[in-house]
Amino acid sequence: MGKFKGFWSFLSEQGRDLPLPRELVDGKTLVLTGANVGLGIEASTHFANKKPSLLIATCRDTVKCEQTLEVLRKRCTGTQPSSLDSWPLELSSFDNVRSFVDRFGAEGPERLNILVANAGTFTPVYARTQDNWEVILQVNYLSIALLSILLLPHLLRSATSDDPSRLVLVSSLGHYLAGPMLTGSQNWDHVLGAINAENFGVSGASRYNLSKLLQVAFVRELSARLPSPTPLVVTTVDPGFCHSSLQRELEKYWLLRMVLGFVKWLLRARTSEMGSRNLVYAALATNAQAMHGKYMSSCEVVEECDYLLSAEGKAFSERLWGETIEVLSNVDGRVSQIVSSYLPAR
């Protein structure tokens, strides 16, 4: 989809049939977060049909895990049931992320080849998690950064010279709208602290868009710290505007449900399955090194928002990286060890 090139161009992209990579994932272990509905269940189905050694599809609780596993086993009858599993992972809690990683270390296989950080939330109301971070900021950014860093040693260990591991963060076209929120951020004492405040951002939508910009900035910084050619290909993807449960908080109100239904029709919302192809493509397409550190849309590398490409945006990203590592190191001591062992300063 790329930068907004006008309404008609956007509509034509929305209606485009996206490619589905032919590559299999045989012998590989994958973790995909937010697997019970929307893009997550569709991407999980694609991966499950590609003969994984093990697909761990995460959901927020054990009931959703059991339901998801049942759906996947019904949809993917040609796949060994033992190749599919579902583990709980609740991203609004750092402890939960740490427990998931501990479990992976204790019970998981040696290898982790692909991590798709798909889970994401949108809520119109400002609320804080038990860790005292604004919900969208923690779920869509901080916990995903924590999960990615704590699983980094597993991903790096599993890479071979001709088959790098993959880390895919699911971002959004909405990140293009978030740059102006960061104007003047060089004068803020603490970027994450400022974004966390209740008086920051005019709406849930603006906080959501900003969380997606933070993901793109994180991927740019993380990728720049990995060696070249990289053993771990890191990308962000925009799945396009899709039908899913993402706006469920708004769809509780019948009037908003009708308005959203009309907007989805007008903007030719993709099915969740079509949107999920973006995730599968970023995780499997063979031109991996060319995708490293990049933002993708409609299965193509496209430019990030102007803000992140500007000198101010680059300084912001570097500062964000530093603060993120500092915050997450206080959550889990392994973060600073991993960063100093594998991610030297640029």
Ligand X SMILES: NC(=O)c1ccc[n+]([C@@H]2O[C@H](COP(=O)([O-])OP(=O)(O)OC[C@H]3O[C@@H](n4cnc5c(N)ncnc54)[C@H](OP(=O)(O)O)[C@@H]3O)[C@@H](O)[C@H]2O)c1
270 vs 319, beta carbon nearer ligand X: 270
Hey, which residues between 45 and 74 contact ligand X (CB under 6 A)? 60, 64
38 vs 164, beta carbon nearer ligand X: 38
Q: Does 91 bind ligand X (CB under 6 A)?
A: yes
User: Contact region for ligand X (CB under 6 A) — 6-14, 36-44, 100-108, 194-202?
Assistant: 36-44
Q: Which residue has the tokens 């900021």?
A: 137
* Residues sharing a CB contact under 8 Å with residue 72, sequence separation 6 or more, in sequence order: 41, 44, 45, 48, 55, 57, 79, 84, 86
Hey, which residues between 15 and 34 contact ligand X (CB under 6 A)? 34
Q: Does 118 bind ligand X (CB under 6 A)?
A: yes
According to DSSP H, which parts of the chain are helical?
7-14, 38-48, 62-75, 94-107, 135-137, 143-158, 191-196, 204-224, 248-251, 254-266, 272-284, 288-291, 306-309, 311-331, 334-342
Q: Which of 106, 109, 88 is nearest to 97 (CA)?
A: 88
Please state, in angstroms and rounded to a whole number, the distance separating the CA atoms of residues 141 and 136. Answer: 8
246 vs 339, beta carbon nearer ligand X: 246
Q: Does 196 bind ligand X (CB under 6 A)?
A: no
Please state, in angstroms and rounded to a whole number, the distance separating the CA atoms of residues 58 and 151. Answer: 14
Q: Does 170 bind ligand X (CB under 6 A)?
A: yes
Q: Which residue has the tokens 């720049």?
A: 224
Q: Does 236 bind ligand X (CB under 6 A)?
A: no
| CB distance 111 to 36 below 8 Å | no
Q: Which of 13, 85, 90, 134 binds ligand X (CB under 6 A)?
A: 90
For 301-340, the DSSP string reads: EE---HHHHSHHHHHHHHHHHHHHHHHHHHH-THHHHHHH
User: Contact region for ligand X (CB under 6 A) — 79-87, 154-162, 239-247, 290-298?
Assistant: 239-247
Q: Does 177 bind ligand X (CB under 6 A)?
A: no
> Shortest approach of ligand X to residue 155 CB, angstroms?
19
Q: Which of 30, 37, 71, 115 binds ligand X (CB under 6 A)?
A: 37
79 vs 297, beta carbon nearer ligand X: 297
> Shortest approach of ligand X to residue 4 CB, angstroms?
14
- End-to-end, the C-alpha distance of the chain in Å comes to 30
Q: Which of 239, 285, 298, 317 binds ligand X (CB under 6 A)?
A: 239
| CB distance 167 to 298 below 8 Å | no
Which stretches of the chain bind ligand X, using CB under 6 A?
34, 36-40, 60, 64, 89-92, 118-121, 139, 170, 172, 238-239, 241-242, 244-246
